Structure 1
Amino acid sequence: MATVISMINLKGGVGKTTLTVAMAEFMAAEYGLKVLVVDLDPQTNATVALINELEWRKRNIRGQTLLNIFLDHLSKYQVFSLEEAIVHNVSNVNGGIEGLDLLPSSIDLIEVHDEFLQAIPSLPINPLHLLDDVLRAALSAYDIVLIDCPPDLGLICQNGLMISDYYIIPTIPDILSTYGIPQIINRIGRLQRENSISIQPLGLVISKYRQQSEIHKNQANLLKIHAPKAGYRQVFNTFIPEGNLAAMVMDYTLHFNSLREKYNYSKYYQIYKALTEEVLSCVQ
């Protein structure tokens, strides 16, 4: 059975999706793991970073994105097929990375969310179990599942948390980016108690770190000191520095022959590899 890790932060722009994509690529390409990325974020950034946008549009039209897991329960018609929806061997590295799969998202998730909330009383299944109901049987085919959660704690995000063993909070070490961390921990704790699930924090990942910034240094130190009592377990030792690499690695139209080429050879390649090793050491 796969180890399922949700990537979550209530604030956008903290590098959550870039981290999800990078770790998935490294886990599959460098460690030979069978990895599934589940894109729960309506912004679809992880999706279009791993597959061609035209391919995504075709799948969206056919109802073969994560949207229809929820939409089928509203329409009462079965359109979604997990076997057809999962895209195999994705990435813009060497024509695709063997063992790296994607369950794509849809921008239409934004529109269906409110409609779905209104329909909850008439649903034949607990709305928190919809993703679990569809995906659970497929988890045995993977070693790791990484869920890119939306920047909220709504119903769709909770579906991802319900099937997760762990969660990681990527954050910039400043006041605004860390402000919502207690809310995340408290809400997940309540979800855990109310539904008897075993999800646990893996830790914080410091992203967009500025070495010369006293604010970043001080805040990162405070996050480390407060980790045990704050409830997020730890701050990973590997910090992801601020830079312009993110825009490039998330652009599927660019093609790379290897992860070393994609992640700027020595610098970012070593950083993401080290972080991946840290995460895997906590779950294996």
Structure 2
Amino acid sequence: MATSKIVSFINMKGGVGKTTLTIGIADYLAKHLNKKILVIDIDPQFNATQTLLDIYSKEDYFDDILPEERTINKLFKPQTEFKRDSEIPSKDEVITTLNENLDLLCGDLNLVLVNKTSDYRQVKKLRRFVRENKLREIYDYILIDCPPTLTVYTDAALLSSDFYLIPNRIDRYSIIGISSLTTAIDNLIHEEDHDIQCLGLVYTMLDNELTQKQTAIKEEFEGQLDDYTYIFDATTTVVRDLQVGKRGSLPTNYQKSLHDISNLSEEFIDQIQKRLDFEK
């Protein structure tokens, strides 16, 4: 019986390759390492959803999935009747099967409305969904693609997770986002008494060689990190074909990106196992 670990992929700065990293690792683990994976797309832009459906599903998001409310928004819909507690949908109501090893909880633009609610119980709904549907017993890993903003559903993702992984580009704007993220997570840990660990930081979208300026920014940034922040040895590099998207937006469809994702996925598993071994 699997006891999955849940990992949020998050940075408070957009354009850092977060979604590409999430779906790349998910696809590699499912396809090449035979792991059972669930991707949860909690980013209102739902780019992970569009990419995975385009590659693996015959269903149309707007014609088939959205009308049936098979998206994450079903978890967060406000109550329409007076009940003791809101109902949590079953996994079969909302999870889309992509292939034998890869499932998807589709994203939804309507999530932008969730953040306007003052009902803090919304924050705990994703965790309840995982628990009540016993998803940890079904999947080896559950990967959550988070938005680059501090919202109700960002908190929901983090509150459901065992770890969070930070994709980061080497530029000053991306690095500033990590400071905001750290503050937000520290507050969540304090308020909810939630045990979540930083799995590490992954440098993304690197050129083959760093410029002198990028090297200086990297060194300055790493000097500000605490001694416990793990920096992945594996990175992702800029792949022009992936940016053009001739074979879609899934990085494992491109040889150079597949090499990057392969190394990252192996290190990803290794780091989780080391954390688990340390806790024993």
TM class, shorter-chain normalised?
A: 0.7 to 0.9
Indicate the residue corresponding to 2:236 in structure 1.
240
CA–CA distance in 2 between the matches of 1:104 and 1:250?
21
Indicate the residue corresponding to 1:145 in structure 2.
142
Where do residues 152-167 of structure 1 align in structure 2 (5 Å cutoff)?
Answer: 152-167=149-164
Deviation at 1:32, TM superposition (A): 1.2
Would you say 1:270 and 2:259 are equivalent positions? yes
Against the structure 1 CA distance between its residues 13 and 247, is the aligned structure 2 distance closer, same or farther, given a 3 Å change threshold?
A: farther
Q: If the length of structure 2 is used for normalisation, what is the TM-score?
A: 0.85
Deviation at 1:79, TM superposition (A): 9.0
CA-based RMSD of the aligned residues comes to 2.3
* Equivalent position to 1:66, from 61, 72, 83: 72
Letter in 1 for 2:30: A
Deviates more, 1:73-82 or 1:45-54: 73-82
CA–CA distance in 1 between the matches of 2:5 and 2:147?
20
Indicate the residue corresponding to 2:277 in structure 1.
none
User: Is the CA contact (8 Å cut-off) linking 2:200 and 2:231 kept in structure 1?
Assistant: yes
Indicate the residue corresponding to 1:204 in structure 2.
201
Deviations 1:19-38 (A, max 9, x none): 00000011111111111100
User: Is the CA contact (8 Å cut-off) linking 1:18 and 1:246 kept in structure 2?
Assistant: no
CA–CA distance in 2 between the matches of 1:7 and 1:186?
16
CA–CA distance in 1 between the matches of 2:79 and 2:46?
22
**3-state SS of the aligned residue for 2:93?**
helix
* Equivalent position to 2:95, from 44, 69, 86: 86
Would you say 1:282 and 2:271 are equivalent positions? yes
CA–CA distance in 1 between the matches of 2:147 and 2:37?
20
User: Is the CA contact (8 Å cut-off) linking 2:74 and 2:94 kept in structure 1?
Assistant: no
Deviations 1:153-202 (A, max 9, x none): 21111001001010011111110111121121121012112111110001
Indicate the residue corresponding to 1:103 in structure 2.
105
Task: Identify unmatched segments of 5+ residues in structure 2.
Answer: 274-280
User: Is the CA contact (8 Å cut-off) linking 1:64 and 1:80 kept in structure 2?
Assistant: no
Deviations 1:87-119 (A, max 9, x none): 11x2xxxxx4x31111001111113421x23xx
Letter in 2 for 1:111: L
Indicate the residue corresponding to 2:60 in structure 1.
55
Indicate the residue corresponding to 2:180 in structure 1.
183
Deviation at 1:78, TM superposition (A): 5.9
Letter in 2 for 1:269: L
User: Is the CA contact (8 Å cut-off) linking 1:249 and 1:263 kept in structure 2?
Assistant: no
Against the structure 1 CA distance between its residues 270 and 185, is the aligned structure 2 distance closer, same or farther, given a 3 Å change threshold?
A: same
Deviation at 1:249, TM superposition (A): 7.9
Letter in 2 for 1:283: I
Against the structure 1 CA distance between its residues 56 and 139, is the aligned structure 2 distance closer, same or farther, given a 3 Å change threshold?
A: farther
Indicate the residue corresponding to 1:172 in structure 2.
169
Deviations 1:207-250 (A, max 9, x none): 11122422222223344444334x6x121111211232245288
User: Is the CA contact (8 Å cut-off) linking 2:88 and 2:128 kept in structure 1?
Assistant: no
Indicate the residue corresponding to 2:216 in structure 1.
218
CA–CA distance in 2 between the matches of 1:127 and 1:170?
26
* Equivalent position to 1:32, from 20, 24, 34: 34
User: Is the CA contact (8 Å cut-off) linking 2:123 and 2:152 kept in structure 1?
Assistant: yes
CA–CA distance in 1 between the matches of 2:195 and 2:114?
29
Indicate the residue corresponding to 1:93 in structure 2.
none
Q: If the length of structure 1 is used for normalisation, what is the TM-score?
A: 0.84
CA–CA distance in 2 between the matches of 1:269 and 1:79?
37
Where do residues 102-121 of structure 1 align in structure 2 (5 Å cutoff)?
Answer: 102-114=104-116, 116-117=117-118, 120=119
* Equivalent position to 2:123, from 115, 118, 128: 128
User: Is the CA contact (8 Å cut-off) linking 1:131 and 1:159 kept in structure 2?
Assistant: yes
User: Is the CA contact (8 Å cut-off) linking 2:16 and 2:205 kept in structure 1?
Assistant: yes
**3-state SS of the aligned residue for 1:61?**
coil
Q: How many residues matched?
A: 259
